[in-house]
Amino acid sequence: GLNTQKELGAVARRGLVIGYCRVSYSGQKADLERQAEVVANYCEKQGYQFRIIKDIGSGMNYKKKGLQELLRLVCEGGCSKIVVNYKDRLVRFGYELIETVCEEHNVDIEIINQTDDISYEEELTEDVLEIITVFSAKLYGKR
């Protein structure tokens, strides 16, 4: 653990590691808890001083409370690293944009599992349908 004031100061300056977990809908609360457990265990093994942020909302929605808090921490220097279980937990599309913002603020993104998560295939379908719905509404005008 952190013993000396010096070490504590270094962590405060560098900012916490934030474990970010997300599911699309509240029916997946059990999934969210499992995800949080995986991320927390990983952070503990790495010896990180960390905090978990949990979000419920589509990977298409950038107005989620947790995501906004995460980005605020990144921009204010309150976060040194983001840990996610899978890349798409952060956002479904626009990952590069978030990556760029993180790079600008010297924040690393650590992805525990590099493969795609098949158990969230249903979510992907929902997200894609959401895009189609939005685009068709724009194309054909609001009916």
Q: What is the CATH number of the domain that holds 65?
A: 3.40.50.1390
Q: Give backbone dihedrals phi and psi of 44, rounded to 5 degrees, phi first.
A: -65, -45
Count the domains in the chain: 1
Give per-residue pLDDT as tens, 41-98.
999 999 999 999 999 998 888 889 999 999 999 999 999 999 999 988 998 888 999 9
CA-CA distance, 74 to 47, in Å (whole number)? 20
For 3-18, write each residue's pLDDT tens digit: 556 555 555 556 799 9
Helices (H), the chain: 5-14, 29-46, 65-75, 87-90, 95-104, 121-140
Q: Which of residues 89 and 142 earns the better pLDDT score? A: 89
Residue 71 belongs to domain spanning: 5-140
pLDDT tens, residue by residue, 82-109: 999 998 899 888 899 999 999 999 999 9
pTM: 0.78
Q: Answer for the pair 84, 66: CB distance below 8 angstroms, yes or no.
A: no
Active site residues: 24
